[in-house]
Amino acid sequence: MIFLDKINETATFLKERGVVAPEFGLILGSGLGELAEEIENAVVVDYAEIPNWGRSTVVGHAGKLVYGDLAGRKVLALQGRFHFYEGNPLEVVTFPVRVMKVLGCEGVIVTNAAGGIGFGPGTLMAISDHINMTGQNPLIGENLDDFGPRFPDMSKAYTPEYRAVAHRVAEKIGVQLDEGVYLGATGPTYETPAEIRAFKTLGADAVGMSTVPEVIVAAHSGLKVLGISCISNYAAGFQEELNHEEVVEVTQRVKGDFKRLLTSILAEL
């Protein structure tokens, strides 16, 4: 199968570059990429060099893969992800997750900036579950049986044990960590106030334009998942107006806590 060949080709390329045996994949969202700068013995690969890899076009995303040691673990971190709203097919959006699986990762930590429905700017939220409002699914098409089943169970897509570790660690280091449901939309428009009222009724606590496709592909292949949202703004209707500058600004404000939390969690996973 051609797609499988591409995944293997990319994994082989990265291995040759020294990305040998990552234990955890880290997908760092808008404004959260700085964590990768704390990785020691780093192998840095520009996205443009990686075969079959997408391109990152969003402000606040560096477009680099960083592999090395963080909190005593071998991590493969992505500074910047691919979004559906950039025109990427979901195959491209989720490609890095498949490569992480092939390289032998046990789990992925998926982070994002999100609008809060109830939660305010600066809140860190462990994702307990998601609502897929994209109208898409990255697993549509021929099933990759080598990765997982045709009809994957999503009951525990966000691994409960990882979340328990996250809460325990947050308490220990004195970082406030809330928990809630992430609703994924395609963007690139922010939501209307009416949509946010509807999403609130549906049970969403945060809304964003990423994460859902990656977590579906991770769950399919049996990768464990920890999802952390950094709430960067009140969702539409709860504040005057929304813009990307504010999203990046707020993530910059909480990045200290964010980095401390993630590093401490990694040490305990």
Active-site annotation holder among 47, 56, 77, 83: 83
Asked if 260 and 174 touch (Cβ cutoff 8 Å), the reply is no
Number of residues counted as binding ligand HPA (CB under 6 A): 13
Specify the stretch interacting with ligand HPA by CB under 6 A; choose among 14-22, 38-46, 126-134, 232-240: 232-240
Strands 124-132 vs 40-46: parallel, antiparallel or unpaired: unpaired
Q: How far is the CB of 196 from ligand HPA (least distance, A)?
A: 8
Among 26, 93, 103, 207, binds ligand HPA (CB under 6 A): 207
User: Which phi-psi region, left, alpha or beta, contains residue 80 (left: φ > 0; alpha: ψ -120 to 50)?
Assistant: left
Residue type, 213: P
Site string for ligand HPA, 239-258 (x = CB under 6 A): ---x----x-----------
Residue 33 within binding range of ligand HPA, rule CB under 6 A: no
Return the residues of window 172-201 that contact ligand HPA according to CB under 6 A. 190-191
Specify the stretch interacting with ligand HPA by CB under 6 A; choose among 52-60, 107-115, 130-138, 161-169: 107-115
Q: What letters, b where the CB count within 10 A reaches 16 and e where it falls short, cover 257-269?
A: bbbbbbbbbbeeb
Q: Could you check whether the bond before residue 213 is cis, i.e. omega within 30 degrees of 0?
A: no
Residue 27 within binding range of ligand HPA, rule CB under 6 A: no
**Directed axis angle between helix 2-16 and helix 95-102, to 10°?**
60
- The H helix count followed by the E strand count for the chain is 7, 9
Specify the stretch interacting with ligand HPA by CB under 6 A; choose among 67-75, 93-101, 158-166, 229-237: 229-237
Would you call 162 a catalytic residue per the annotation? no
| Dihedral sign from CA coordinates of 263, 16, 215, 165 | negative
Residues that bind ligand HPA (CB under 6 A): 113-115, 190-191, 207-209, 232-233, 235, 242, 247
